[in-house]
Amino acid sequence: MSQNKNVSDKLYYSISEVSRMTGLEQYVLRYWEKEFPTLKPKKSRGGNRTYTQKDIDIINRIKHLRTKEKLTIAGARNRLTMRRSGEQKKSMYQTARAKTIIGQIRQDIEDILKEIS
């Protein structure tokens, strides 16, 4: 049996492995964590980042947006948030609608309190 485990068989990857796989420097990966809310690798007890295949897919998508489509960090962030599933969009719409209704109710209550006082 071979000692070398196929990288695609792994569940978690270190930042150095992800750096080699993507061709990005480690500092770029750490910076992108701060700039892209969808990129959140877990950290081990020792504080080491552990990336999943999903994280690597997001990194590759960001890299494509930055290098091939020449988008800024803000542009890439916006493009990533637009690529949500139908269920996520529905949830975001419902949340926004609820916040609008709550805001209207709050305004109505303030108007009523002004009339009473």
Separation between Cα atoms, residue 15 and residue 27, nearest integer Å: 10
Quick one: pLDDT at residue 79? 86
Half-sphere exposure of 116 (CA within 13 A, CB side): 6
Q: DSSP E strands: which ranges in the chain? A: 42-43, 49-50
Place of tokens 């930055």: 66
What mean pLDDT is predicted for residues 42-54? Answer: 93
pLDDT mean across residues, the chain: 84
Residue of 43, 63, 51 lying closest to 17 (CA atoms): 51
The larger pLDDT score, comparing residue 21 to residue 104, is at 21
Give the range among 41-45, 64-68, 75-79, 101-105 with minimum mean pLDDT.
101-105
**Neighbouring residues of 75: CB distance < 8 A, sequence distance ≥ 6:** 65
Residue of 22, 85, 25, 31 lying closest to 59 (CA atoms): 22
